[in-house]
Amino acid sequence: MRGLRRHAFLPVSRQDMLERGWEELDFIFVSGDAYVDHPSFGPAILCRLLEKHGYRVGILPQPDWHSAGAFQRLGKPRLAFLVSAGNMDSLLNKFTAAKKQRRQDAYSPGGKPGCRPERATIVYCSRIREAYPDVPVIIGGIEASLRRFAHYDYWTDAVRRSILVDSMADLLIYGMGERALLEVAAELHQGVPVGNVQDVQGTCYRVPDFDYVYDYLKLPSFEEVRSDKEAFAEAFRQSYLEQDALRGRRLAQQNGEYCVVANPPARPLSEEEMDEIYDLPYERTWHPIYDAAGGVPAIREVRFSLVSQRGCFGGCNFCAIISHEGRIIQRRSHASILREAQLLTTLPDFKGYIHDVGGPTANFRRPSCDAQLKRGTCRGKPCLSPEPCKHLMADHSDYIALLRKLRALPGIKKVFVRSGIRFDYLLLAKDAFLEELCRHHVSGQLKIAPEHVTDRVTRLMGKSGKAVYLEFVRRFTRINQRLGKKQYLVPYFMSSHPGATLEDAIELAEFIRELGYRPEQVQDFIPTPGTLSTCMYYTGIHPMTGEKIYTAKSYEEKQMQRALLQYWNPKHHRIVRKALRLAGREDLIGYGRQCLVPPEHSLKADRPLRSRHDGKRQSGRKKR
């Protein structure tokens, strides 16, 4: 790499290779996303890290999957193909909760949909095998991570085998992947056959049967979990409880003629390792081949944002972070974050505003307790919700210090926090973080996610209850009044989560009415692979407690629950009336203060109701 500009894009063509004097690459990374050289995009991180450690790496972004030719564009790699469907599961990327095709793909040039196949990991592997049958293939990313065992697939409403078997890849790296990938690369470089790479934490491999495995926990087989929902719930419970690098056990599950073996998760990265990753020489934008299409939309939200940590101990059951990033917080040093912030000020289109400083949860900058770093997370015991552990250490002091340093940098006008605040954790802390947040880091609106308000549903979600949320609303309002600021909360709510009935949706609609919210966005629950909520959705069983769980599955009931959360919108009035009658709540149809919708055949039918909150700015509403 002698003589190269330090911040050059990685090769995407043979011409790029020749300009570097390379006849052969060590690794070729096949990605379902367009190539954006930015630390918020997994392929960029992994390829830059390999590059720093001396490997020659090229990228095939969104190759044409209809033939093997596109996968030969960079030649045959010396060590392996690395394959990822992209920053999202390829089916979630393509379809909505209603299984309708999305109109935009934010990770493709110009937001154009259709640039990757469904089940991209499997399709890409098939084409690579056609092109180069003898080259090792290693899969990873969110799609591979969360489908590493037999799993429920919402889009076909069926249980599928491990993606390692369906793709016939040689190795699967799950989780964030940096440490595992470097270890695998070192073994391949030393001449170890890929079939013998079986000792790396954070990886899965295939063997014929259990005779080839040692010291493992046996999961119910694919055949068992496909035919028996109780077996599925048990397999999920066992694997979920072992999601810890320090105490987790090796897992093995028979999938047809192959046994899939998962080593324990990779150990959390140290502060120095996190700094190394985010100090790499990224171009911080999309590759110039996308200029004509207007670039890649996904970078807009993150280009001027800073990742400060990874992991989350919040315990939301519908979230895959526990199965992907883990519960133990891994953080960057202040020095590394400040260096990146100073770098942002040199970019030509930077206006002085840092859009976000955070991670999966912005205000988690330390492990939930110090014991986690010595013995791992507690098996089967949540840290924060629905009830906080007595050993939880709620402390924002490090985060406050970091934010103060950032806003003191020359060229920085404002530092915002937008990546999600855990308000229940915030209320447990004895520091002044909420006032600091309101005074300096809210851009008029603060997004938070109570998700629901009925105690049964929030418990099944792994969230804190309504009383905690209302206490946060009171404190937020009181502090902003004292500061003389007009700032508002934008709450996110979810419909049709396992356990949520039509009556629960009506209670949430009444709650929204009482507080004067008019949420413009409502998330209908999507059963994505690898989450506890998806297990409840498919099996009707809470895998940790064994209790039976009701779930709305019919299109009409899901429509009703979603419409109730936007009852004020005239286009939903008809279905809201139907839902209210079905639940025996005709008292909410009419013109009274407590009503949600007007009756049919009236002059005011299907027009927006005027509430007592109209005439003043409402929390969660945008100015017109």
pLDDT digits (tens, 9 = 90+) for 308-365: 999 999 999 999 888 889 999 999 999 999 999 999 999 989 999 999 999 999 999 9
CA atoms within 13 A on the CB side of 18: 5
Do 361 and 312 touch, CB atoms closer than 8 A? yes
Amino acid at site 172? L
N residues, the chain: 624
Predicted confidence (pLDDT) per residue in 63-105, tens digit: 999 999 999 999 999 999 999 999 999 999 999 999 999 999 9
DSSP sequence for 350-394: --SEE-EEESSSTT--S-SSTTHHHH-S-TT--SSSSS--TT---
Q: How do residues 572-592 score in pLDDT, each as one tens digit? A: 999 999 999 999 999 999 999
> CA dihedral defined by 591, 596, 598, 604, rounded to 10 degrees?
80
Band of pLDDT at residue 387, cut at 50, 70 and 90: confident
Q: What's the CA gap between 313 and 465, in Å, rounded?
A: 17
Q: Which of 181, 206, 231 corresponds to the end of one domain?
A: 206
Task: Determine, yes or no, domain membership for 96.
Answer: yes
pLDDT digits (tens, 9 = 90+) for 497-544: 999 999 999 999 999 999 888 887 789 999 999 999 999 999 999 999
Contact 233, 539 (CB under 8 A): yes
Q: Is residue 494 part of a domain?
A: yes
**pLDDT above 80 for 474:** yes
Q: What is the identity of the amino acid at 255?
A: N
| Residue 375, Cβ density class (10 Å: 0-12 exposed, 13-18 middle, ≥19 buried) | exposed
Question: Strand (E) positions, 403-444?
Answer: 414-415
Confidence of residue 599 (pLDDT cuts 50, 70, 90): very high
Write b or e for each residue in 325-357: b if 16 or more Cβ atoms lie within 10 A of its Cβ, otherwise e: bbbbbbbbeeebbbebbeebeeeeeeeeebbbb
621 pLDDT band (50/70/90 cuts)?
very low
pLDDT of 601 strictly over 60: yes
Question: How many angstroms separate the CA atoms of 112 and 135, rounded?
Answer: 32
In a domain, 323, yes or no: no
Q: CA–CA separation, 147 vs 476, rounded Å?
A: 40
Residue 610, pLDDT > 90, answer no
Residues 6+ apart with CB under 8 A from 90: 32, 116, 117, 118, 119, 120, 121, 143
Helix (H) or strand (E) holding 127: helix 120-131
Contact between 95 and 36 under an 8 Å Cβ cutoff? The reply is no
Mean pLDDT, residues 169-182: 97
What pLDDT band is residue 605 in, cutting at 50, 70 and 90?
A: low
pLDDT for 263: 98
Q: What percent of the chain has pLDDT over 90?
A: 89
Q: What whole-number distance in Å separates Cα of residue 282 and Cα of residue 115? A: 24
Domain C-terminal end among 206, 235, 268: 206
CATH code of residue 132: 3.40.50.2300
Is there a domain that residue 164 lies in?
yes
| Predicted local confidence at residue 494, as pLDDT | 96
Instruction: Encode burial over 128-161: b for 16+ CB neighbours within 10 A, e otherwise.
Output: bbebbeebbbbbbbbbbbbbbbbbbbbeeeebbb
CA torsion 69-73-75-78 (nearest 10°) is: -110
Nearest to residue 340, comparing CAs of 406, 397, 415? 406
Question: What are the tens digits of pLDDT across the range 197-246?
Answer: 999 999 999 999 999 999 999 999 999 999 999 999 999 999 999 999 99
Helices 555-564 and 502-515, axial angle in degrees (round to 10): 20
Q: How confident is the model at residue 617 (pLDDT cuts 50, 70, 90)?
A: very low
> How many domains does the chain contain in total?
2
As beta bridge partners, residue 488 has: 445
pLDDT of residue 604: 53
- Asked whether residue 181 is domain-assigned, the answer is yes
Pairing of strands 171-173, 137-140: parallel
Is residue 156 within 8 A of residue 190, CB to CB? The reply is no
Average pLDDT over residues 124-142: 97
Mean pLDDT across the chain: 93
Give the residue ranges of DSSP H helices in 450-589: 455-461, 466-483, 502-515, 532-539, 555-564, 573-582
Residue 609 DSSP symbol:
P
Residue 105 lies in a domain: yes
Residue 618 has pLDDT above 60, yes or no: no
In this predicted model, what pLDDT tens digit does every residue of 244-283 receive, in sequence order? 999 999 999 999 999 999 999 999 999 999 999 999 999 9
In a domain, 334, yes or no: no
- What CATH number corresponds to the domain at position 534? 3.30.750
Phi and psi at 354, nearest 5°, equal: -90, 120
Contacting residues for 305 by C-beta, under 8 A, at least 6 apart: 40, 354, 355, 356, 357, 418, 419
Q: What is the pLDDT, as a whole number, of residue 614?
A: 41
Query: Who's near 280: CB < 8 A, 6+ residues apart?
Result: 39, 45, 48, 49, 52
Domain end call among 206, 226, 250: 206
Whether the CB-CB separation of 395 and 429 falls below 8 Å is answered with yes
User: Residue 15 above 70 pLDDT?
Assistant: yes
State the residue range of the domain holding 189.
14-206
Start-to-end CA distance of the chain, whole Å, equals 53
DSSP result, 286-350: E-GGGGGGT--GGGTTTTTEEE-EE---S--TT--HHHHT-SS-EE--HHHHHHHHHHHTTSTT-
The answer to whether residue 603 scores a pLDDT higher than 70 is: no
Side-chain half-sphere CA neighbours of 203 within 13 A = 23
Residue 408 resides in a domain: no
User: Using 50, 70 and 90 to split pLDDT, how confident is the model at 385?
Assistant: confident
Closest C-alpha among 616, 619, 615, 617 to residue 488: 619
pLDDT at 1 (0 to 100): 30
Q: Which amino acid is at 215?
A: D
pLDDT score of 279 = 96
What percentage of the chain reaches a pLDDT higher than 70?
Answer: 95
